[in-house]
């Protein structure tokens, strides 16, 4: 099987460090610290400015290759049901995460969601079953489809959306159509815990090393 690229090499670890190059971790810069993190030579806790939840999120992102399932590179679209999914009993104040309705996308997202006790709404928008990167190329994930899906939501949410990183170009046109606050998430789903910060709580019984 030729495995799909899950964009683990696109995780932007540096973005979540203080970027002061203070050298308290023993490295000459935050960028060098990231290099050592990726090699497994340094642990996230060596940066003393990170909170416990940030350290856990770093561990999750670093272990993305083990946590995320291998899925085949897409030859044909694999549509799964579109619609709203509840993660950990969300309420009106929970984030709404948007993605496409590829079976493989849903599988990969589910794998990372197993590592949080935080609550989210997940809205899978019909993009004919393309993965989000392909959906942007084929233009199957469209603003009008997202708007239509939002209008059909059965609950009134806090109006804060996280788009997949690959759908960044939809942010502006989407904001012109709706009154929701639109954020652009990461390219790699393993970065989501870092991106959501304190809004992503890892279960206390999971040992991340």
Q: Which residues sit at the interface with ligand SF4, rule CB under 6 A?
A: 17-18, 20-25, 27, 29-30, 33, 47-49
CB of 24 to ligand SF4, least distance (A): 4
CB of 37 to ligand SF4, least distance (A): 9
Residue nearer to ligand SF4 on the CB measure, 20 or 88: 20
CB of 1 to ligand SF4, least distance (A): 37
Residue nearer to ligand SF4 on the CB measure, 41 or 117: 41
Three-state secondary structure string covering the chain: CCECCCCHHHCCHHHHCCCCCCCCCCCCCHHHHHHHHHHCCCCHHHCCCCCHHHHHHHHHHHCHHHHCCCCECCCCCCECCCEEEEECCCCCCCEEEEEECEHHHHHHHHHHHCCCCCCEEEEEECCCCCCHHHHHHHCCCCHHHHHHHHHCCCCCCCCEEEECHHHHHHHHHHHHHCCCEEEECCCCHHHHHHHHHHHCCCCCCCCCC
CB of 44 to ligand SF4, least distance (A): 9
Residue nearer to ligand SF4 on the CB measure, 24 or 144: 24
Residue nearer to ligand SF4 on the CB measure, 18 or 69: 18
């Amino acid at each position: 099987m030729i495995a799909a690229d899950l964009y683990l090499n696109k995780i932007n670890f540096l973005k979540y460090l203080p970027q002061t190059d203070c050298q308290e971790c023993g490295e000459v810069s935050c960028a060098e610290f990231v290099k050592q993190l990726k090699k497994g030579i340094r642990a996230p806790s060596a940066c003393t400015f990170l909170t416990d939840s940030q350290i856990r999120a770093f561990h999750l992102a670093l272990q993305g290759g083990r946590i995320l399932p291998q899925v085949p590179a897409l030859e044909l679209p694999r549509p799964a049901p579109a619609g709203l999914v509840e993660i950990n009993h969300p309420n009106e104040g929970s984030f709404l995460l948007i993605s496409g309705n590829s079976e493989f996308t849903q599988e990969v997202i589910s794998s990372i969601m197993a590592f949080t006790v935080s609550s989210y709404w997940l809205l899978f928008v019909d993009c004919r079953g393309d993965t989000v990167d392909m959906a942007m190329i084929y233009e199957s994930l469209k603003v009008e489809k997202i708007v239509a899906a939002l209008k059909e939501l059965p609950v009134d949410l806090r109006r804060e959306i996280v788009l997949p990183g690959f759908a960044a170009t939809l942010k502006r046109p989407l904001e012109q159509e709706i009154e929701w606050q639109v954020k652009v998430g990461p390219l790699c789903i393993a970065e989501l815990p870092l991106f959501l910060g304190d809004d992503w709580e890892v279960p206390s019984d999971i040992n991340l090393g």
